[in-house]
Structure 1
Amino acid sequence: MREEEYEVRQLEEKIAHWEREIEHCRALIRRYEQYIRNAKARLHYLLRDLHPGGKRGPGAGGG
């Protein structure tokens, strides 16, 4: 029975390790999703400024 208990403990440790790895990957995914949201917002802002009806950019008037 000792060997079986050892094997169970080893498997539990492996499971705990992989659970930590999965949580680490989830944190990375959340971080990169935030990067993507920020990049999309910046792109939207820049494209809006390039549009002829935008407040700034070429052809915005002021002169």
Structure 2
Amino acid sequence: MKIEEYDTVLLKDGRKAAIVEILDSSHFLADIGDGPKDWDTIEITLGEIGHIVKSTECSRMALRARK
């Protein structure tokens, strides 16, 4: 699974996370939480990610299709 910066992923524990920085091929910084009161930035590993919910590449393709 290729994770890119700004992808939204579903963690195996059920939380959604937005990838904000790629540290290396298997370690990432991610924002979790539902709003300003509980937002947090955590370090996660590739092994903690269940799957990609929203890919940065898919978002780019959708924007190009609108033009």
TM-score of the pair, normalised by structure 2? 0.25
Identify the structure with bigger relative contact order (alpha carbons < 8 Å, sequence gap 6+): 2
Whose strand proportion is higher, 1 or 2?
Answer: 2
TM-score of the pair, normalised by structure 1? 0.26
